[in-house]
Structure 1
Amino acid sequence: MNPTKAQVDEATNQCVNALTGSARLRGCFFEDDAGKAEDKRTGLSCPDRQAALAKQCRKRCANYASDTTHLVCTGSYPNTVWHISFGDISGDTGESPRVERCGPRLRSIFAKKPPPG
């Protein structure tokens, strides 16, 4: 297959959206004291914090989307492609990575804001 950039971009967006949904479900439904402390530290609600973490996975989602849209046989091996694209944070199955490891720690609401301009 030779997918267009629009097809790969759409697959990337679908991946980020799926990660956001699953991160919100797991991260907020089962939120522990550490998660609540992160909500307070970042000034975000749990769903917003999980969405921000999932968005940091965009590069890995783009790799996954590229691989799955270019390969003809990926339907037979989705978890293999998932594990290759997400590597050390992949989790057990597709759409279950540890989103908190996709990027840097979210900024605190107490962090100094850069001067304007």
Structure 2
Amino acid sequence: MSTSALTPTEDGDLKEQDPSLSEDKVVVLFKPTGGDTPLLKQTKVKVLRSAKFVDVVSHLSRQVKRAHVFVYLNDAFTPSYDEQVGRLFDWFGSGSGGEGEFETNGGSARKKKQMLVVNYSAQQAYG
């Protein structure tokens, strides 16, 4: 993982180390897929939009204590590891319809949580 862009914190957040970097972050939600996939204590992390997806995968690998994990977006495909997390969030993040997007729940409206859902598995799960 690139130490200039991200470092894990005690609460599970991936946090920038260089204060000159942008504060713009996205929330990544890790969801286990498959029977023997280890569960995480911290399932949500904040990641800089400019970080590469490989940084997210490296962090996840360390958390599940595996040399390699299989990761998927939309329960179907693995994006390029060179892709920026911010772009993946814009394209595939839940609730990515914009700042003003709301969800109704029994007549009351509340703002949707926007996050990038990353399914992970110890074995190949799809395809």
TM-score normalised to structure 1 length? 0.31
In terms of fraction of residues, the more helix-rich structure is 1
Between Structure 1 and Structure 2, whose CA radius of gyration is higher? Answer: 1
In terms of fraction of residues, the more strand-rich structure is 2
TM-score normalised to structure 2 length? 0.29
